[in-house]
């Protein structure tokens, strides 16, 4: 290959990486709590924060301060930023600001956010030759409403704005203020760039485009996932799975055997882990008994104390929790609410019991063998390419979808191969059941490349064991 082309791709990939792989910072109070509760290896170090995220965060604080007693700064340019989980989040931003006299000065701004406190935001401005300015402000959704905001000019709709209004109609988006509209439009524009890059670097056959998540930042989008990292100091208690030595057929799909329930929707709650587990248990139970039942994720949100409901969890924890709780109730008896509620578990309504779990090897051949012999498999996956996935076999550039950054729990239900004789291309893939409703992806499913651990598909494969 020509070196120059390769180098360009790497540069593009790396710059994109900074946009895509920024799901580390904590925004909402509950998320901060959840992260602090998690293993200590996640807490501590400062991580690079994407400039546009930093700008948004700083703008929100400046708006809030301007509405109070100042100072009245405007952002000229963000040079760099880091974020760190402390008691709350500490964001440090190296930024050029316009001061009250419209002069530029380069300052370090620290935003220490403890959103669960009444006046939980402390903003410190450290500017050259000036005393440190320290201010506090509260958290408010209304902080985006600003008196100085100009009315939108409806006569200059460019192409992006046209796409944006189509998006708003299709996904029924209503923004409450003109300010929020402008902010969402800005995010939408940036996402169009990411979509372009994903399509340009796609090695499979997937198409990326505008989805219902097209007006969300990567941080907001990741609230629809919810998988914790397995902590290194607390290894999985699962036994290793026994891999049957069977010859693999070219294709296999558990959906055709009637053991997979309809695609569900976790909503705006980081409960992917619970959906991954119910899908797994539903499948195992149906394979064993011939009867497909739907089990309750809400029971896990309410009663599994080792996981954190809408603030994320681990499938490993849930297998053990189901054993402790005493089994799973039916979805219809214990319906989904999408938020943590009181545990209403009733032993008399149990339909399936679990005895811990097993871990599958990080080997995609072995995973396929186990799948055929047993049923669907819970996996962790990096969800970067899923935000804008519209269909096809997804094989993103590795740098855009690191196997180390598993943030979403889903379910492998089968596998297959796509042949593209015209392009002399053969694409083996996994069929992955997601929990973002049937309108997402391919009727709620994701096809992801099989054979090179794309997006970490084989890193965290596991299953419950039925009693």
Report the catalytic residues: 272, 408, 434
Closer residue to ligand NAG, CB minimum distance, 73 or 370? 370
Nearest-CB residue for ligand NAG: 363
Q: Which is nearer to ligand NAG, 210 or 367 (CB)?
A: 367
Report, in Å, the least distance between residue 396 CB and ligand NAG. Answer: 23
Cβ-based burial of 126 (10 A; exposed 0-12, middle 13-18, buried ≥19): middle
Q: Which residues contact 385 (CB under 8 A, 6 or more apart)?
A: 198, 206, 208, 394, 396, 400, 401, 448, 455
| In the complex, least distance from residue 362 CB atom to ligand NAG, rounded to whole angstroms | 9
Q: Which is nearer to ligand NAG, 163 or 373 (CB)?
A: 373
Q: Closest separation between CB of residue 369 and ligand NAG, Å? A: 6
Other Cβ atoms within 10 Å of 346 Cβ, number? 12
> Which residue's CB is nearer to ligand NAG, number 346 or number 365?
365
In angstroms, what is the minimal distance from the CB of 403 to ligand NAG?
15
| Nearest-approach distance from CB 245 to ligand NAG, in angstroms | 7
Nearest distance in Å: CB 241, ligand NAG: 11
- Residue nearer to ligand NAG on the CB measure, 370 or 449: 370
Q: Is 372 or 399 the residue whose CB approaches ligand NAG more closely? A: 372
Judging by DSSP bridges, how do beta strands 239-240 and 354-359 pair with one another? parallel
Q: How far is the CB of 420 from ligand NAG (least distance, A)?
A: 26
Site residues, ligand NAG (CB under 6 A): 243, 363, 365-366, 369
Over the chain, what HEC string results?
A: CCHHHHHHHHHHHHHHHHHHCCCCCCCCHHHHHHHHHCCHHHCCCEEECCHHHHHHHHHHHHHHHHHCCCCCCEEEEEEEEEEEEECEEEEEEEEEEECCCCCEEEEEEEEEECCCCCCCEEEEEECCCCCCEEEEECCCHHHHCCCCCCCCCCCCCCHHHHHHHHHHHHCCCCCCCHHHHHHHHHHHHHHHHHHHHHHHHCCCCCEECCCCCCCCCHHHHHHHCCECCCCCCCCCCCEECCCCCCCCCCCEEHHHHCCCCCCCECCCCECHHHHHHHHHHHHHHHHHHCCCCCECHHHHHHHCCCCCCCECECHHHHHHHHHHHCCECECCCCCCCCCCCCCCCCHHHCCECEEEEEECCCCHHHHHHHHHHHCCEEEEECCHHHCCEEECEECCCHHHCCCCCCCEEEEEEEEEEEEEHHHCEEEEEEEEECCECCCCCECCEEEEECCCCHHHCCCCCEEEEEC
Minimum gap (Å) between residue 361 Cβ and ligand NAG: 7
Cβ-based nearer residue to ligand NAG, 61 or 369: 369
Q: Are 270 and 409 in contact (CB under 8 A)?
A: no
> Given the complex with ligand NAG, which of 216 and 379 has the nearer CB atom?
379
């Amino acid at each position: 290959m020509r070196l120059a082309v390769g180098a360009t791709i790497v540069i593009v990939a790396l710059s994109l990486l900074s946009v895509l792989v920024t799901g580390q910072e904590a925004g909402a109070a509950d998320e901060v709590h959840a992260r602090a509760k998690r293993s200590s290896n996640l807490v501590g170090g400062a991580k690079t924060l994407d400039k546009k995220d930093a700008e948004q965060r700083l703008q929100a604080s400046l708006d809030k301060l301007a509405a109070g007693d100042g100072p009245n700064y405007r952002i000229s340019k963000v040079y760099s930023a880091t974020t760190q989980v402390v008691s709350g989040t500490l964001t440090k931003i190296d930024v050029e600001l316009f001061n009250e006299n419209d002069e530029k000065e380069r300052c370090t701004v620290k935003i220490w956010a403890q959103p669960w406190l009444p006046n939980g935001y402390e903003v410190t401005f450290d500017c050259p030759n000036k005393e440190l300015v320290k201010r506090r402000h509260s958290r408010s959704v209304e902080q985006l409403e600003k008196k100085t905001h100009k009315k939108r000019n409806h006569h200059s709709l460019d192409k992006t704005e046209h796409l944006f209004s189509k998006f708003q109609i299709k996904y029924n988006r209503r923004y409450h203020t003109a300010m929020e509209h402008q902010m969402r439009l800005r995010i939408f524009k940036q996402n169009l760039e990411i979509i372009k890059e994903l399509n340009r670097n796609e090695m499979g056959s997937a198409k990326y485009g505008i989805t219902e998540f097209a007006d969300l930042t990567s941080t907001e989008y990741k609230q629809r996932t919810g998988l914790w990292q397995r902590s290194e100091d607390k290894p999985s208690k699962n036994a290793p799975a026994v891999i049957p030595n069977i010859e693999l057929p070219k294709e296999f799909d558990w959906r055709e055997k009637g053991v997979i329930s309809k695609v569900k929707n976790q909503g705006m709650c980081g409960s992917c882990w619970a959906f991954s587990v119910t899908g797994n248990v539903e499948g195992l139970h149906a394979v064993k008994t011939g009867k497909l039942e739907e089990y309750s994720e809400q029971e896990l949100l309410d009663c599994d104390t080792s996981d954190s409901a809408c603030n994320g969890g681990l499938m490993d924890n849930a297998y053990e929790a189901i054993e402790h709780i005493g089994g799973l109730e039916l979805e219809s008896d214990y319906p989904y609410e999408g938020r943590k509620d009181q545990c209403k578990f009733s032993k008399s309504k149990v339909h399936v019991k679990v005895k811990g779990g097993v871990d599958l090897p990080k080997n995609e051949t072995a995973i396929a063998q186990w799948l055929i012999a047993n049923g669907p498999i819970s996996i962790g996956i990096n969800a970067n390419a899923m935000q804008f996935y519209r269909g096809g076999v997804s094989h993103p550039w590795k740098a855009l979808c690191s196997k180390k950054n598993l943030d979403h729990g889903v379910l492998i239900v089968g596998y297959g191969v796509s042949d593209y004789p015209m392009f002399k291309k053969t694409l083996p893939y996994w069929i992955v059941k997601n929990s973002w409703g049937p309108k997402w992806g391919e009727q709620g499913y994701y096809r992801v490349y099989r054979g090179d651990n794309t997006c970490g598909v084989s890193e965290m494969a596991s299953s419950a064991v039925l009693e």
